[in-house]
A and B are shown apart, each in its own frame.
Chain A
Amino acid sequence: MRFMVLVKANEDSEAGVLPDEKILAAMGKYNEELVNAGVMLAGEGLHASSKGARVKFSGGKRTVIDGPFTETKELIAGFWLWEVKSKEEAIEWLKRAPFDETEVEIRQVFEAEDFGAELTPELREQEERLRAQVAAK
Chain B
Amino acid sequence: MTVSDTHRAIDAVWRIESARLIAGLARIVRDVGLAEELAQDALVAALEQWPESGVPDNPGAWLMATAKHRAIDLLRRNERLERKHEELGRELEAQLEMAVPDLDAAIDDDIGDDLLRLVFMCCHPILSTEARVALTLRLLGGLTTEETARAFLVPEPTVAQRIVRAKRTLAEARVPFEVPRGDELTARLESVLEVVYLVFNEGYSATAGEDWVRPALCEDALRLGRILAELAPKEPEVHGLVALMEIQASRLRARVGPSGEPILLRDQNRARWDHLLVRRGLAALDRAERLGGALGPYTLQAVIAACHARARTPAETDWARIAALYDALAQLAPSPVVELNRAVALAMAFGPAEGLELVDVLTTEPSLEGYHLLPSVRGDLLAKVGRFVEARAEFERAAALTRNDRERELLLERAAACARGNRLYEPPG
Residue ranges of A at the interface with B (Cβ–Cβ < 8 Å): 35-39, 41-42, 81, 83, 85-86, 88-89, 91-93, 111-112, 119-120, 122-124, 126-127, 129-131, 133-137
Contact = CB atoms under 8 A, between A and B. Distances in A.
A37 B12 CA distance: 13
A112 B420 CA distance: 34
A37 to B, nearest CB: 7
A39 B227 CA distance: 9
Contact of B418 (A81, A91, A119, A137): A137
Interface string B193-234: 000000000000000000000000001001111110011000
A44 to B, nearest CB: 12
Contact of B227 (A36, A83, A92, A123): A36
B195 to A, nearest CB: 15
Interface string B1-32: 00000001101110110000000000000000
Contacts of A119: 258
Contact of B276 (A42, A92, A112): A42
B226 A123 contact: no
Identify whether the interface residues of B are mostly helix, strand, loop, or mixed.
helix
Identify whether the interface residues of A are mostly helix, strand, loop, or mixed.
helix
Contact of A123 (B223, B224, B231, B258): B258
Given A38-B227, A123-B258, A129-B267, A92 B418 contact: no
A41 B219 CA distance: 12
Contact of A93 (B16, B384, B413, B421): B16
Contacts of B16: 37, 89, 92-93
Nearest to B272: A112
Range of interface residues on B (Cβ < 8 Å)? 35 or more
A124 B258 CA distance: 7
Contact of B9 (A39, A42, A92, A120): A92
Nearest to A131: B413
Nearest to A124: B258
Given A88-B12, A130-B257, A134-B414, A37 B227 contact: yes
Contacts of B272: 112
A120 B257 CA distance: 9
Contacts of A129: 267
Nearest to B421: A137
A85 B15 contact: yes
Contacts of B280: 41
Contacts of A123: 257-258
Interface string B240-283: 00000000000001000111010100010100100010001000
Contacts of B12: 85-86, 88-89, 91-92
A69 B66 CA distance: 50
30 contacts: A35-B226, A35-B230, A38-B223, A38-B225, A38-B226, A38-B227, A41-B276, A83-B223, A85-B12, A86-B8, A86-B15, A88-B8, A88-B9, A88-B11, A89-B15, A91-B9, A91-B12, A92-B59, A111-B253, A112-B253, A119-B258, A123-B258, A126-B263, A127-B258, A127-B259, A134-B414, A134-B417, A137-B384, A137-B418, A137-B421
A81 B275 CA distance: 14
Contacts of A88: 8-9, 11-12
A36 B253 CA distance: 26
- When A and B form their complex, which 10 residue pairs have the shortest distance between CB atoms, in order from nearest? A38-B226, A88-B12, A38-B223, A112-B253, A89-B12, A92-B12, A123-B258, A38-B227, A88-B8, A36-B230
